[in-house]
Amino acid sequence: MSEPFVNSYDPRVWAAAWSPQRSLDMREARRSSGRRQLVGIGVGGAVLLMGALGAWLSRPAGQPVVAASGEAAATAVPETQTVRRTLLLANASELESALQRFGLDAGMAGKVAAEARPALAPDGEVRAVLEVTRAGGALQFYRLQASNSDSSGAVVRLGEDGRLETSRLAAQVSEKIVVMHGIMDGDSFYTSAVAIGVPNSLISPFAKALAFDFDFQREVAAGDAFELAYAQSVNASGEAQGAPQLLYASMTTQAKSAAVYRFTPGGEEEGWYDASGRTVARSLMRTPVDGARITSKFGMRFHPVLHYTRLHGGVDFAAPIGTPIYAAAAGTVTSASPSSCAGNMVIISHANGMETRYFHLSRYAEGLHAGEPVAQGFIIGYVGTTGKCTTGPHLHYEVHINDEKIDPLTIQPDASERQSLTGAQMRAFEQVRDRIDVSRAQESS
Ligand SMILES: [Zn+2]
């Protein structure tokens, strides 16, 4: 249609455009609608404005359907105008009443909403663009486009024969890669990441991805640089859809540098790989709990509770009660039951005569039991302060090899442990890596 549009959130513009008494200068109306366009209006505001508009529409104007008498035609042919309005609804169930408030009669609002509803998600915001025509005083439904946040939805329009025609809109979700750079502040990785706007849900995965290369507590300091890349699905309007996914993490300290890429080899679990396609995972995670502070190292010490000098056979990580604790390596739970000193304790046995022990848990992961196989990084329980041998919330973590306690912090990264991808998997990895590197290069150019 070639009729002028009025597209505005402001009902005053509508009132002017629709006033049957006024001969309207559409250019002026369009300019003023542009000026009055409201940005980022909330649902409440939209509904409020719609209410005001509805009130205006329901004035006793009630013009009859185009009375094109010869006299009227001679002076002013009633101009057909199309008026478009964008509405944000909290969910699809609001559509019918919104159409009514907008000015459609109950019968038409019900029919149009019924046509659109099957294409709309039951939950989640709906964006509706409604177009109506006015010829003389009569208001007529012309077109509705109602879409979900992923841009899927339906278009309902009034056909030539007066029936409603409905077509579906396909989802338009694309993926973009976002690259971010940051510098460690003197406080924590968390605050350093938040400072540059890293999505909260990526902070823990970042630390876990690099947990095999860095002990964030001991080896990362203020001024060290980090970089990350993540994938984010966006709809046709560029709005984020669903959770972001971390693709790349790197850290550069004075002593060393490491960069890891997420990759899922065919038929296997996803994991982190260095730039040459070697798996980053090693026999043990160095820190089986997030954001922890080492409060007591392995070695002889005077025990604060037992009051005599003895071997502290593990490392203490102080962390708030409820902080998740991870299985340091894949293995089988051999015990998940309390003892008087260790409180709630988990023991996991691993390959090559290795065993890890976790003390003082506030609680076990739901359903955790002896005999259960666990993957590396699997949550086995939560930090607490249970048992007699503890003075505050922390994880006491032990590593035993062939029944001998060893210092978990002396287990050094060993590149020879890293297995490299080969063949088709290596080629697939290189594609994933190169796509991320291209985004990183664009970001820094
Ligand atoms: Zn301890």
Span from the CA of 210 to the centroid of ligand 1 (angstroms):
25
Span from the CA of 312 to the centroid of ligand 1 (angstroms):
6
Span from the CA of 340 to the centroid of ligand 1 (angstroms):
14
What percent of the chain lies above the pLDDT cut of 70?
Answer: 78
pLDDT tens-digit series, residues 129-174: 999 988 777 788 999 999 998 889 999 999 988 899 999 999 888 8
Between the CA atoms of 266, 380, 376 and 405, what dihedral angle is there, to the nearest 10 degrees? -160
Would you say 263 and 429 are in contact if contact means Cβ atoms under 8 Å apart?
yes
Query: At residue 285, does pLDDT exceed 80?
Result: no
Span from the CA of 323 to the centroid of ligand 1 (angstroms):
17
| Dihedrals phi, psi of 270, to nearest 5 degrees | -70, 155
Comparing 72 with 78, the larger pLDDT belongs to 78
Span from the CA of 333 to the centroid of ligand 1 (angstroms):
20
Span from the CA of 329 to the centroid of ligand 1 (angstroms):
20
Question: How sure is the predictor about 412, in pLDDT bands with cuts at 50, 70 and 90?
Answer: low
Domain ranges of the chain: 5-169, 174-280+421-444, 293-412
For residue 282, the model assigns a pLDDT of 65
Alpha carbon separation from 405 to 145, 229, 329 (Å, rounded): 67, 39, 17
| Average pLDDT over all residues of the chain | 80
Token code pair at residue 229: 């890349």
Span from the CA of 296 to the centroid of ligand 1 (angstroms):
7
pLDDT tens-digit series, residues 339-380: 999 999 999 998 777 899 999 999 999 999 999 999 888 999
Span from the CA of 338 to the centroid of ligand 1 (angstroms):
16
Span from the CA of 397 to the centroid of ligand 1 (angstroms):
7
Alpha helices in 1-90 (DSSP H): 11-18, 26-36, 43-57, 70-75
Secondary structure of residue 429 in the 3-state scheme: helix
Span from the CA of 277 to the centroid of ligand 1 (angstroms):
37
Between the CA atoms of 65, 70, 71 and 73, what dihedral angle is there, to the nearest 10 degrees? 70
pLDDT tens-digit series, residues 295-316: 888 888 776 666 677 788 999 9
H or E segment to which residue 244 belongs: strand 240-252
For the domain with range 174-280+421-444, which CATH number is right: 3.10.450.350, 3.40.640.10, 3.10.640.10, 3.40.50.1980? 3.10.450.350
User: What is the DSSP secondary-structure string of 253-278?
Assistant: -SS-EEEEEEE--TTS--EEE-TTSB
What percent of the chain lies above the pLDDT cut of 90?
Answer: 47
Sign, Cα dihedral of 345, 349, 355, 356: negative
Span from the CA of 315 to the centroid of ligand 1 (angstroms):
6
Fold classification of 293-412 (topology level): Glucose Permease (Domain IIA) (2.70.70)
